[in-house]
Amino acid sequence: MAFWIGLDDTDSRKAGCTTYVAAVAMRRLEALGARIVGYPRLIRLNPSCPYKTRGNAAIAFKVEGIELERAEELMRSVVEELSELDEGAETGIVFLEGEPDERLRSFYWRAVRELVSLDDGFKVAEEAEAKLIYYGSGRGIIGALAAIGADLSLGKTYELIAHRRREYWGTVRRIDPVSVLELDEATRPYTFDNIDPESGEIRIAPHTPCPVLFGIRGVDPEIFEKALKIIRVYEPIEFVTIFETNQATDVHYQRLGIRDLRDGVCAVVEGVVTMQPRANVGGHVFFKLGDGNGEIWCAAYEPTKSFRKLILQLIPGDEVVAYGAVKQKPQGLTLNLEKIYIRRLAEKIVERSPKCPECGKRMTSMGGSKGFKCRRCGAKLPEEYKEISRVPRAIKPGFYEVPPSARRHLARPLMLDELLRDNEHRQGASNLI
Ligand SMILES: [Zn+2]
């Protein structure tokens, strides 16, 4: 009898990583004669969820060839050995015999697109007859249940994670940056987010003391063989695990009208720019978007770097589709931009004083609609003589996104759009235009 094991919240602020705990557990299960069926899953939930564990992902994998009770015993011992239980981890382990039903699937969708509570988690677990082992409040069961219920039919990507040997944890990762550039060059776009093109930063290695040496994201697991031949690291690798994931799939977005937006949802909103974008002292750029039924603030925060320059070029009247997470802020509901599609640019009109018909000097406005006066010769012209000219726009319609360093795990990089469009079913969220 096959069953699913889900796992989440094994890490503390300092260290740990659920991918590592799961990778160890899977290897120990295999040592007992169990088989892991298919790829283990690495599942990201709604980035606005208050229960999320510091950016870490929940894991689920399917096991067969072992008694459930033996697997429970093993999972308990691995978690008690490796989970950061003394540092505040509230690990949840979920066991589900057979396949997840509709209730678990819908729990996943709520966890990835909306907000779910721990009570919801316990209720769904009971209804699904899932078995739970948890520590502290058991906050980790939310991610563990969602990872088991995850529906990857709308798109998935893969991540190869190389873990470090324990004696190297906390030390500087010795990865040859040139080899990462080579890897990127040779395998892109089948691998992605290896490097931030704007800052040149290497994106495959974390900067935390966690057990991950590097993670390579890809759209096809076959590409990892090639990538591993190219990358050069100067420390032994403990083991390498390939996960299938919902990262870079845009599944967190819902297409919503402005009046239906709520705190905590991730949304795709179509509208017209109604207020000239402006930067505040912190370098954050804000503008207002309206759709006839309401208005919402949109923000491109400082970490989105050059994306802000694009946003500052928008003017009232521009038609756009905005993607991002909705948050309640002091100024009101605010959509934190992750990407934007500029559908149509408004005409940028500039008005200025006419030249003097007598002497050719640029005239001065007399204010309001009183017309113009020449300061040199005193000639006057009525208001309707003002010059109206169209200024060419500095930006073009199309898709724009924040740099990789500011992008959420779930947001799909634009470079993957064309690559994935042909072999995926769409559900209206991503290629909504
Ligand atoms: Zn004049």
Phi-psi map region of 16: left, alpha, beta (phi>0 left; psi -120 to 50 alpha): left
Nearest residue to 215 via CA among 185, 193, 186: 193
CA distance 202 to 172: 14
User: What pLDDT does residue 86 have?
Assistant: 84
Residue 352 Cα, ligand 1 centroid: separation in angstroms? 16
| CA 355 to ligand 1 centroid distance, Å | 8
Distance 363 CA to ligand 1 centre (A): 7
Tell how far the Cα of 349 is from the centroid of ligand 1, in angstroms. Answer: 26
3-class DSSP string for the chain: CCEEEEEECCCCCCCCCHHHHHHHHHHHHHHCCCEEEEEEEEECCCCCCCCCCCCCCEEEEEEECCCHHHHHHHHHHHHHHHCCHHHCCCCEEEEEECCCCHHHHHHHHHHHHCCCCHHHHHHHHHHCCCEEEECCCCCHHHHHHHHHHCCCCCCCEEEEEEEECHHHCCCCCCECHHHHHHHHHHHCCCEECCECCCCCCECCCCCCCCCEEEEEEECCCCHHHHHHHHCCECCCEEEEEEEEECCCCCCCEEECCHHHCCCCCEEEEEEEEEEEEEECCCCCEEEEEECCCCEEEEEECHHHCCHHHHHHCCCCCCEEEEEEEEEEECCEEEEEEEEEEEEECCCEEEEECCECCCCCCECEECCCCCCEECCCCCCEECHHHCEEEEECCCCCCEEEECCHHHCCCCCCCHHHHHHHHCCCCCCCCCCCC
Give me ligand 1 centre to Cα 366, in Å: 14
The 10 Å Cβ neighbour count of residue 178 is 9
- Residue 55: per-residue pLDDT: 55
How many A from CA of 152 to the centre of ligand 1?
Answer: 72
**390 alpha carbon – ligand 1 mean position (Å):** 25
Ligand 1 centre to CA of 353 (Å) is 12
Residue type at 256?
L
How far is C-alpha 239 from the geometric centre of its chain's CA atoms? 27
Distance 377 CA to ligand 1 centre (A): 4
Q: Are strands 398-401 and 35-43 parallel, antiparallel or unpaired?
A: unpaired
| pLDDT confidence of residue 429 | 41
Ligand 1: centre distance to CA 348 (Å): 29
d(CA 180, CA 406): 20
List b or e across 181-197, with b for residues whose CB sees 16 or more CB atoms inside 10 angstroms: ebbbeebebbbbbbbbe
- In the reported structure, the alpha carbon of residue 370 is separated from the centroid of ligand 1 by a whole-number distance in angstroms of 17
Ligand 1 centroid from CA 362, angstroms: 8
Confirm if 63 and 7 have CB atoms less than 8 A apart: no
Give residue 422 CA to ligand 1 midpoint distance, Å: 65
Distance 391 CA to ligand 1 centre (A): 26
Give distance in angstroms: CA of 350 to centre of ligand 1: 22
Contact of 79 with 21, CB cutoff 8 Å: yes
Tell how far the Cα of 392 is from the centroid of ligand 1, in angstroms. 30
State the distance from the centre of ligand 1 to the C-alpha of 359, rounded, in angstroms: 4
What distance in angstroms lies between residue 380's CA and the mean position of ligand 1's atoms? 8
CA of 388 to the centre of ligand 1 (A): 20
296 CA to middle of ligand 1, Å?
48
CA of 224 to the centre of ligand 1 (A): 74
Distance from Cα 368 to the centre of ligand 1, integer Å: 21
DSSP letter at 195 equals B
Other beta carbons within 10 angstroms of residue 221's beta carbon come to 16
pLDDT in tens, the chain (433 residues): 899 999 998 886 655 689 999 999 999 999 999 999 999 999 999 877 665 545 558 999 999 999 999 999 999 999 999 888 888 889 999 999 999 999 999 999 999 988 889 999 999 999 999 999 999 999 999 999 999 999 998 889 999 999 999 999 999 999 999 999 999 999 999 999 999 888 889 999 988 888 999 999 999 999 999 999 999 999 999 999 999 999 999 999 999 999 999 998 999 999 999 999 999 999 999 999 999 999 999 999 999 999 999 999 999 999 999 999 999 999 999 999 999 999 999 999 998 999 999 999 999 999 888 999 999 999 999 999 999 999 999 999 999 999 988 888 899 999 888 776 654 444 444 444 4
What integer pLDDT is reported at residue 428 of this predicted model? 41
Peptide bond preceding 100 in cis form (omega within 30 of 0): no
d(Cα 169, Cα 82) in Å, to the nearest integer?
Answer: 13
Q: Which structure tokens are listed for 63?
A: 């096991």
**What separation in Å is there between the alpha carbon of 176 and the centre of ligand 1?**
69
What CA–CA distance (Å, rounded) separates 361 from 325? 52
How far, in Å, from the CA of 373 to the mean position of ligand 1? 8
How many angstroms does the Cα of residue 361 sit away from the middle of ligand 1?
A: 6
Q: How far apart are CA 124 and CA 142, in angstroms?
A: 10
Which amino acid would we find at residue 325?
A
